[in-house]
Amino acid sequence: MGKKSLERKVINMEKIKCACGETAQKITTEMELFGGDVTVRNIEAYYCPKCKEEVMTTEQIQKVKDNVKSLVPSYEKFSVRKKIAQLGNSVTVPLPKEVADFLGIHKGDEVRITVKDKHRLIVESA
């Protein structure tokens, strides 16, 4: 899993010992999953200042797994195949209603379209 920590905060003075022997402090952190498409926030972990790494107990890892499991079905629901339609000189991609609702976009709203590569297009709501 390509995970990256984004923001970490010390939440209390609770501490554990890291494998290196240094004391790791309890923090909350964020993780980006699916190449940054999904961000999981408020993950409990411990941070070792010596290793500069987040250390997680098996309990904490299980919590993240449960969290991701609850995110994955909705994420996969939004991977849909659609036929390109023609509109004047442009071609359009119909967005399913649930995708538009999820993004909070409506008819007339502006979105930013970025061509990522030959196969990928990013549509961003404001």
Report the interface residues with Zn ion, using CB under 5 A. Answer: 18, 20, 22, 48, 50-51
**Which residue do the tokens 């995110």 mark?**
71
Shortest CB 66 distance to Zn ion, Å: 26
Amino acid at 94: P
Q: Which is nearer to Zn ion, 22 or 76 (CB)?
A: 22
Q: Which is nearer to Zn ion, 18 or 45 (CB)?
A: 18
The structure tokens listed for 39 are: 């961000």
Shortest CB 23 distance to Zn ion, Å: 9
Shortest CB 54 distance to Zn ion, Å: 10
Q: Which is nearer to Zn ion, 17 or 77 (CB)?
A: 17
The structure tokens listed for 92 are: 């359009």
- Please report the DSSP string for 55-96 in residue order: E--HHHHHHHHHHHHHHHHHHHHT------EEETTEEE-PPP
